[in-house]
Amino acid sequence: MDRAQAAKELERLAKLIAHHDYRYFTLANPEITDEQYDALRRQNQELEALFPDLRRLDSPSHRIGSPLSSAFDKVKHRKPLLSLDNVFNEKEFVDFGKKLRRFLKMPEDVLIPMVAEPKIDGLSASLHYQDGQFVLGATRGDGQEGENITANLRTVRDLPLRLSGDDVPKSLEIRGEVYMKIADFDALNASRLQQNEQPFANPRNAAAGSLRQLDSTITASRPIHFFAYYAQSLEGNLAQTQDELLQKLQTWGFVVNPYHKLCSTFDEMIQVYQTMQTVRETLPYEIDGLVYKVNDLRLQERLGVVGRAPRHSIAFKFAAQQAETVVDDIILQVGRTGVITPVAVLQPVIVGGVTVSRATLHNEEEIRRKDIRIKDSVIVQRAGDVIPQVVRVNTNKRPSNSQVYSFTENCPCCHSTLYQTPGQIAKRCLNGFGCEDQAIQRLIHFVSRDALNIDGLGEKHIARFYALNLITTPVDIFTLEERNKNFKEPLETWEGWGKQSAQNLWDAINKVRVLSLDKLIYALGIPQIGQTTAKLLAKHFTVFERFLETILNAHQNDAMVQKELMPIEGIGHGMARDIIDFFQQKHNVQMVEGLLKHITVLAYTVADNLPLSGKTIVFTGSLELISRSEAKAQAEKLGAKVGSAVSAQTTFVVAGKDAGQKLKAASALGVEVIDENAWQEMILATG
């Protein structure tokens, strides 16, 4: 057989074996015997051995994996992989529907059809196909950037290496969930126990651990599967509705969850939820709720994103499973921002298949309200099947010598006096990096994936460096390499380290010496400041020097707060106060000043080629064509800042019906005012 004949035969075998894989793994309806299938695989392997350079991207050999590779490369997602907001009861689900209609300016009685899909407890993955062939696969990562796990994903038997059908776009991205069936999970754990290996805690962990193996032959030996639920193409719309999109995924060869259902009425949506809750225990895989997505993809586009979640979808979680146990003790934990959280130490109990030995008690007021005491019998549940919490006390079983729990006035770690912000429930330690528990948590946050993302500085490493007094503040991270040169025992000589791993750490640290303003603000760990708010602050102040100077001057100056912080959309007075209070603590200012000697903070920039880049817009009054929320989303999508108050920096005000004080302020400041019709004309002109 010559090369041309071999190439043609390998193409035939790849297509034929893929067909039989689909019949066996996806449809559970094989057309040939195992012996016939094995013969086809052997024929393919023998040809590839003779002509190794003819091995195809869709070769069946990829299913068996490849030897150990280096660490995973990073992959930037074309479009962020978002997380979902959750609801836990019917009222919250109804409120979600109301928010949709308000945003879309729809009457209350209008029904928005939605597709319900079981929420698989697995690991999200993104797959890229070029000319119908699978070329790249990545984990969700931080939503913006994931890890390249292409070799591992090739081993997943129900994931097509080549797409079927005639309407496959040239460039296509598929998103879905990698999971492990319960029976396969049990068998895997039984095997691991026989080999004296640590069993996995649950099927999700097993799937995630299998997918992140550096040796893909290990992944190939694990029974993991893939459900597809989303597709996007650079060539335009693939379908008009979510329901049509799922059908298209099936025609291309993907497995979609068979329990997905298009619901036209609210009663149908609730009925699906109740049905799935009933059959949940009979499914071969774990689910923890249902995901509801607006069916109309054009409406999905209009609804857009808020924070890190899409507005058009919601996860309706199942009711939490409960069990009864005893509180052996109540301990206090110090969080990253100094907040003291009481935790119940429980006699271990199984809740929803997971052993629970601790549960959050939230705060002092919650303990008092539920009257939770040591040695009480309590009902615990896993909220959203994740976080254990105490629901109530079974007072009928309370010991006669029971005593009311008394909350301490001092930090359980550093013993400094606790502080309670007026109007807030939580008590907080203000000792910052002087409090060991708080310092370690703040350092872990500082280097975490969503903050500076320093590879090689995990929780265990941070704790060890802190214990040795080598990293006690973020500043120490950036001086560690230089100090390491004078250590009696340099890092590269430590157990578990080496010359290359130490160099990898120095490279990772040096890589983040130049960072964006929003990353730094988030990494500092200011109370209430998440990633979304950090970006709002960065967008408003642009450069760090202006941000810091403004916040330092705003202390005890409410006029400054009103002028600089309150106009920022999404910043309330309580949040503004927390920002200011953070920088009134001397150790925080010293830490920031020390950081600035070792890092360069880039000015925050938005795409300056967007139609409204550099403009600040304020909306006031009642809009009639679209909702205020959608108008704000339109403005931000086009590059504008949206303010909540009119100032001299405001570019123009969009005034709807019954505009009030903001309209007067605009007139007094000479700020341009346009009506809603003019705004929509502007949107159309820039579109």
Band (pLDDT 50/70/90 cuts) for residue 421 is confident
Looking at residue 68, its pLDDT comes to 45
Residue 324 has pLDDT above 70, yes or no: yes
Question: First-to-last CA distance in the chain?
Answer: 58
Give the tens place of pLDDT for each residue, 190-236: 988 888 888 887 888 899 889 888 888 889 899 999 999 999 997 87
Residue 686 has pLDDT above 80, yes or no: no
Band (pLDDT 50/70/90 cuts) for residue 602 is very high
Band (pLDDT 50/70/90 cuts) for residue 265 is very high
Report the DSSP beta bridge partners of residue 124: 177
Give the tens place of pLDDT for each residue, 18-54: 888 777 665 657 788 777 877 788 888 888 878 888 8
Looking at residue 674, its pLDDT comes to 92
Q: Does 203 fall in a domain?
A: yes
* Selected residue with higher pLDDT from 573 and 674: 674
Structural domain of 388: 320-430
* Selected residue with higher pLDDT from 78 and 67: 78
One domain, residues 483 and 451: yes
Residue 111 has pLDDT above 70, yes or no: yes
The CATH number of the domain holding residue 129 is: 3.30.470.30
Q: Which of 180-189, 438-447, 678-687 shows the lowest mean pLDDT across its residues?
A: 678-687
Q: Which of 322-336, 549-563, 578-592 shows the lowest mean pLDDT across its residues?
A: 549-563
Average pLDDT on 138-166 reads: 89
Q: Does 79 fall in a domain?
A: no
One domain, residues 625 and 550: no
Active site residue 119: yes
Segment (H or E) for 447: helix 436-447
One domain, residues 95 and 10: no
* Selected residue with higher pLDDT from 528 and 570: 528
> Which one is catalytic: 119, 293, 535, 539?
119
Band (pLDDT 50/70/90 cuts) for residue 171 is very high
CA 282 to chain centre: 29
Looking at residue 343, its pLDDT comes to 94
Looking at residue 544, its pLDDT comes to 94
Number of domains in the chain: 6
What does the DSSP 8-state code read for residue 25?
I
Looking at residue 361, its pLDDT comes to 92
Residue 70 has pLDDT above 60, yes or no: no
One domain, residues 324 and 311: no
The CATH number of the domain holding residue 501 is: 1.10.150.20
Residue 69 has pLDDT above 60, yes or no: no
Looking at residue 172, its pLDDT comes to 94
Give the tens place of pLDDT for each residue, 125-137: 999 999 999 999 9
Strands 652-655 and 616-620: parallel
CA 66 to chain centre: 30
Q: Does 76 fall in a domain?
A: no
Cβ density class 534-571: b for 16+ within 10 Å, e for less: bbbbbbbbeebeebbebbeebeeeeebbebbbbbbbeb
The CATH number of the domain holding residue 363 is: 2.40.50.140
Band (pLDDT 50/70/90 cuts) for residue 66 is low
Residue 610 has pLDDT above 90, yes or no: no
Residue 550 has pLDDT above 90, yes or no: no
Average pLDDT on 569-581 reads: 81
Band (pLDDT 50/70/90 cuts) for residue 169 is very high
One domain, residues 144 and 223: yes
Report the DSSP beta bridge partners of residue 262: 115
Average pLDDT on 358-381 reads: 93
Residue 75 has pLDDT above 90, yes or no: no
Residues 59/11, Cβ–Cβ less than 8 Å: no
Residues 121/203, Cβ–Cβ less than 8 Å: yes
What does the DSSP 8-state code read for residue 622?
B
One domain, residues 233 and 369: no
State how far the Cα of 438 lies from the Cα of 435, in Å rounded to an integer: 5
One domain, residues 537 and 412: no
One domain, residues 196 and 102: yes
Q: Does 186 fall in a domain?
A: yes
Residue 67 has pLDDT above 70, yes or no: no
One domain, residues 286 and 328: no
One domain, residues 145 and 123: yes
CA dihedral 21, 27, 30, 36 (to 10 degrees): 0
Q: Does 502 fall in a domain?
A: yes
pTM: 0.67
Residue 563 has pLDDT above 90, yes or no: no
Token code pair at residue 616 = 């600040």
Average pLDDT on 143-149 reads: 86
One domain, residues 126 and 262: yes
Looking at residue 517, its pLDDT comes to 94
One domain, residues 185 and 301: yes
Q: Does 375 fall in a domain?
A: yes
Q: Which of 382-386, 513-517, 535-539 shows the lowest mean pLDDT across its residues?
A: 382-386
Average pLDDT on 376-402 reads: 86
Q: What sign has the CA pseudo-torsion 528, 532, 533, 538?
A: positive
Looking at residue 104, its pLDDT comes to 93
Closest to 174 (Cα-Cα) out of 96, 238, 98, 111? 238
Band (pLDDT 50/70/90 cuts) for residue 630 is confident
Q: Does 78 fall in a domain?
A: no
- When the pLDDT of each residue in the chain is averaged and rounded to a whole number, the result is 88
